[in-house]
Structure 1
Amino acid sequence: MYRCMLYADAASLSNTPVKWPFNLLVLDPIGGSGYCTQILAHNGGSGLVGLYIRAEYGGTWSEWKQL
């Protein structure tokens, strides 16, 4: 099973945002290969602007998608 950090970024959709101090529980539906998911809270400085998600499979990350 993979374990991934939940991310928040106050400025942009960066690949290195500030990590929140807790993890997402990520299930591995195909034993050993593993899916990983990251969620990013995009904050423009005046409250929550949008939530974004991306997924990893086999070491390759998808593009960020808005929820």
Structure 2
Amino acid sequence: MWRQFVDALDERLADRPWIAGDAYSFADITALITIDFARSAKLDLRETAGNVARWYEAASVRPSASA
């Protein structure tokens, strides 16, 4: 299941900066939390998920990510 989620998210982010389009939204917040919880459960992002890695880096440096 995790790999399918990452693959689908990677595909979604192929042509947009944020999940729902050009603006950061609740969809990004939810996915960021999901990925952070998954990492604590030892589920990592796939090495081939470059779009997710780019998005995760951008989402993680936002001030709200450290709240």
Name the structure with the higher strand share.
Answer: 1
- Bigger radius of gyration: 1
Which category describes the TM-score, using the shorter chain as reference length? under 0.3
Would you tell me which structure has more helix in proportion to its own residues? 2
- Which fold has the larger relative contact order, with Cα–Cα distance below 8 Å and residues 6 or more apart in sequence? 2
Length-normalised TM-score, structure 1: 0.25
